[in-house]
Structure 1
Amino acid sequence: MKILIDDVKLNLLLETKKSFIGKNVAWDSFLSAFSFLISVLLASYRDFFGLPGIALKTVFVVLGVGFTFKSLADIHDSSKNNYSYSDLLSDINKLNEITHNHSIVIIKDTFNRYPNRLLVYDDTRWNCKFFLNYKENPNNESFIKQHISQELKIETFDITLDCLGQRIHEKFSESTHEEKVYSHRFYLAKISKFPDMML
């Protein structure tokens, strides 16, 4: 599904959340630091270029302790600011400027020798003929099949849907008297078995 986002708003969101993105600290960083500390504590060091071995060991122990506490602090901060991929995706979707999502379903009369008719209905509100159409739903294809099944009295397993594409456009809304952004997804519905009374 396509969405429409103002790039300035997207950049502002990413700038606001940049300290959280990619900060998912795993326990393996703590285990690595702790393992380093244990290995340093158990190791023995010889004198190196005049530096006593105990001094080198002390430096490495201090580094190991520092890394261990740093990884624990990162894990603590990460648990307090648990901003995940799904949170970012949700925030991006909230910027979507599309105000109306609709699916338009085309059904051809494939049960005649020349399938040159398309199924439409009379819309009383707009006083014209429309293809079957539905507001976008999270489980959109299942949602469409269920409605076609109920409206045409056919089984859902006799319906297959092919998505033909999506068009995003801005147009004037007669009901609210303002410009709105619309998204229309087009589907071709194929029906393998039609009720005899509708042929």
Structure 2
Amino acid sequence: MMLRIDERDLRSKLNEHRSLIGYGSKGDGIANIVAGLFYIPTAWTFAELPMRARCLFAVLGVVIIALGVASIVCKGLTSEKLYKEIESMNRRASSLIAVKDGMDALSNRYLTYYDEQWNCWFLPNHRSFDSYEEDKRKLSSYLSSEFKIPSDDFQMRFVGTATSTKFSTAHNEERTYDYRLYLASVIRIPDAWDAEGEFAIESKKCKWMTVDEMLNDRKIYAINRDVIQMLKDLI
């Protein structure tokens, strides 16, 4: 399996554990304790050594013993544990927006856009941010700038989360995705959005789709049936 991890996330993870890395194995710790115990009696056995040298040997022994104890007791991170934590970073955190006509309570259509790279219709989406407050704020800005909806013309709320592991057809490998779903109710629909079928929002090709229409689209079903199922279950 090939891991694709953001460099900033990897550096942050390694920095998080930097105090636990580098003490050596438990075997090294035991060896250090034995060596330290050897230094201390040695310091007082050789009477011909100057007092300063004997004190130095004793202090060195205590330091080596302390390092050995630290390796055994304080070391909480093994190479396997670190690998598992890095492996867990091989997840995609994505926030999705179900954009709905807020003026029609019975509407079951959601805004989708056509992604040229995937050749598929997607819900508006963006990489998730750490906190939900920041995530919601960034998504509101994204929806306004990319889909030209003034922030006063829609109301957004958090709906729920889902985790899905699936085969990525674009990357030819299995990936794990952590989804956050938001519902954006548009209270003033732009005139261009009233068109039947496809319409353009600047360079984006868009259209309204129901959940059933998404599930019946073979490309959407192959790539994002887990997303559509989450949409169906949570809203």
TM range (shorter): 0.3 to 0.5
TM-score by structure 2 length? 0.41
TM-score by structure 1 length? 0.47
Which of the pair has more CA radius of gyration?
1
Task: Please identify which structure carries the higher helix content.
Answer: 2
